Structure 1
Amino acid sequence: MRIITSILALLASLLLTACNNTPDHVALNTVKTGTPALWKVSGTKPGQLGTAYMFGTIHILPDDVQWRTPALEAAIAESDRLVIEVLGLEDTQNAAKIFSRLAISPGQAKLDDRINPALHDDLDRIIEASNLPERTLNRMETWAAALSLASAQTRNLGLDSSGGVEQKLTAQFEKAGKPIEALETIELQLGYFDKLPEQQQRQMLTSVLEESEDAQLAFEKLFNAWMTGDLEHIVTLSDTGILTDPKTREYLLVARNLNWVDQLDKRLQRPGTSLVAVGAAHLAGPDAVQASLAKRGYKVEKIQ
């Protein structure tokens, strides 16, 4: 749940309109300077005309960390476009409408009734700390409540999703007048959760509650693994919660990766250089996007 939450907590956090207060920043035990993983993908066959730099990201950054490196800046300068997971998050009003349309459904059971009674105290504690109205959460489908509560925990660490890697890269490419493209829409990305069977949605909510007391440590582990380019640790962190179920992992991670591979393969059949900046979990392990591109004949070099 930790990795998947990091992918989509950004969407949910945009919609936490009840959380108008800004929490104090928590002292985090995080690496201050690092070298996040970066690959270069280039063609080796006729028709493979393009180049892509693949950069694993994290969607939320603490203050005063140095994640930019000479190798990354050189890749940015060489790239004529940026490819990210999803566009349109800056339009919070539209994002909220999309979220509400998918998240709110009539006839939902109270959240208390969707979890093990042993977790009731944890749920009450998290809701109280989140400043989210319990009535609103009870109207949400289970996946949406889980993401909203996970995002609230991130906010309670004093972390602001508006300052993530994608936002900073997007601003840089916009300033340079370079186009920005997306691999998914907001509807599609949220739709993956919306289409999960209720049992798996409840597993999501359970994971959020069970991991709530370790939210700070979980973020620190993920962030430090990203900053140091520790791919094995990222894989270990991703193999938790609902992703321990092979069918759920296939649906939420592997299938999305393969969809992106198809899109990137088509881009790489055209001249040009792209910087592809997506969540680090998508570029780690045997199902990584760049590993699948290598199987299609592309040359993949890890340059950082």
Structure 2
Amino acid sequence: MRIIIPLISLLASLLLGACNNAPDPVILNTVKNGTPAMWKVSGTNPDQIGTAYMFGTIHILPDNVEWRTSALEAAIADSDQLVIEVLGLDDTQSAARIFSRLAVSPGQEKLDARVKPSLRDDLDRIVDASNISERTLNRMETWAAALSLASAQTKGLGLDSSGGVEKKLTAQFEKAGKKIEALETIESQLGYFDKLPEEQQRQMLTSVIEESGDSQQAFEKLFNAWMTGDIDQIVTLTDTGILSDAKTRQYLLVTRNQDWAEQLDKRLQHPGTSFVAVGAAHLAGPDAVQAMLAKRGYKVEKIQ
């Protein structure tokens, strides 16, 4: 659940329109005012002439929380462009076509055959609560079924992506007439999951099932760590579940961070200031994007 959270914004928009039952209201024990972590990256040699603000995000926001600060607004005002993970989520029809093309494959085993027998009752319970048909899930590759069920659990908390950080920042930069670019496409982002070996995909599904009983608590912990800028706690929370497997972590997190650091390095070799807003897990720990930029000679300052 914890590492799946970064993709919930996409899956909620593509899948959960089928979940017509309104969930019962859930009272979340979340921080109402905070200072999410932010860094400034600047060059130390003549080739590194650009600047970037690195802001860790969470893709789903509860109502009535204040995450904006004077330091954040100053960084936004100082920036020429916004760089986010992926563009195109507003075109839900196109996004849904991409998801379906990657997610659905012929000849899949029934979903309950892809987990150990001791988890099948819990899987049935999660499927029933999701309002996603068994037939639909059985046709999906394992990664897609896992993401779909995780998204449904978050929807069950009364959360969706309509007011997420990226959407709010995108609207702000659009209103200011500033450029908005992305580090990945929808297809490439989902492709990381699609290319996982089946063993790792089944580990993902197992994690969703095993963590389903504390989905509210897991979200609260991650959200509160984000709001308070508690990087150590974010590392702790995202080092569990499927990311505890070294190969899966390398593929889903480290490889993507390396690609983003390469892209940002090229941007920083040109004048201008970018405001980079990506999932907080990508800016936490020794494999963080800004840590990789520091190894390339950039000066990295934590400014919030």
CA distance in 2, matches of 1:26, 1:228: 22
Q: Which amino acid aligns with 2:288?
A: A
Structure 2 residue matching 1:15: 3-state secondary structure: helix
Partner of 1:112: 112
Partner of 1:71: 71
The answer as to whether partners of 1:25 and 1:159 remain within 8 angstroms in 2 is: no
After superposition, residues 138-149 of structure 1 pair within 5 angstroms as 138-149=138-149
Residue 24 (structure 1) shift: 3.6
CA distance in 1, matches of 2:173, 2:142: 36
Q: 1:208-234, CA deviations, whole angstroms, 9 ceiling, x for partnerless residues?
A: 000000000000000000000000000
Structure 2 residue matching 1:163: 3-state secondary structure: coil
TM-score (norm 2): 0.98
Partner of 1:287: 287
Partner of 1:8: 7
Residue 162 (structure 1) shift: 1.9
After superposition, residues 140-289 of structure 1 pair within 5 angstroms as 140-289=140-289
Gaps of 5+ in 2: none
Structure 2 residue matching 1:277: 3-state secondary structure: strand
CA distance in 2, matches of 1:145, 1:156: 16
Partner of 1:300: 300
Residue 128 (structure 1) shift: 1.1
CA distance in 2, matches of 1:24, 1:175: 35
The answer as to whether partners of 1:41 and 1:298 remain within 8 angstroms in 2 is: yes
Q: 1:153-173, CA deviations, whole angstroms, 9 ceiling, x for partnerless residues?
A: 000000011211001000110
Residue 22 (structure 1) shift: 3.5
CA distance in 2, matches of 1:161, 1:219: 14
Partner of 1:40: 40
Partner of 2:130: 130
CA distance in 2, matches of 1:240, 1:22: 31
Residue 20 (structure 1) shift: 3.0
CA distance in 1, matches of 2:284, 2:161: 22
Q: 1:230-275, CA deviations, whole angstroms, 9 ceiling, x for partnerless residues?
A: 0000000011111111111111100100000000000000100010
The answer as to whether partners of 1:6 and 1:59 remain within 8 angstroms in 2 is: yes
Partner of 1:54: 54
Q: Which amino acid aligns with 1:196?
A: L
Q: CA RMSD in A?
A: 0.8
Partner of 2:96: 96
Q: 1:95-136, CA deviations, whole angstroms, 9 ceiling, x for partnerless residues?
A: 100000000000100111000111111111111111111110
Q: 1:143-197, CA deviations, whole angstroms, 9 ceiling, x for partnerless residues?
A: 0000000000000000011211001000110111101000000000000000000
Structure 2 residue matching 1:67: 3-state secondary structure: coil
The answer as to whether partners of 1:88 and 1:186 remain within 8 angstroms in 2 is: yes
Structure 1 residue matching 2:148: 3-state secondary structure: helix
CA distance in 1, matches of 2:101, 2:5: 22
The answer as to whether partners of 1:254 and 1:287 remain within 8 angstroms in 2 is: yes
Q: Which amino acid aligns with 1:214?
A: D
The answer as to whether partners of 1:41 and 1:53 remain within 8 angstroms in 2 is: yes
Structure 1 residue matching 2:181: 3-state secondary structure: strand
Structure 2 residue matching 1:68: 3-state secondary structure: coil
Q: Which amino acid aligns with 1:246?
A: A
Greater mean alpha carbon deviation, residues 282-291 or residues 115-124: 115-124
CA distance in 1, matches of 2:208, 2:298: 38
Gaps of 5+ in 1: none
TM-score (norm 1): 0.98
Q: 1:268-299, CA deviations, whole angstroms, 9 ceiling, x for partnerless residues?
A: 00100010000000000000000111111111
Identity, % of aligned pairs? Answer: 80
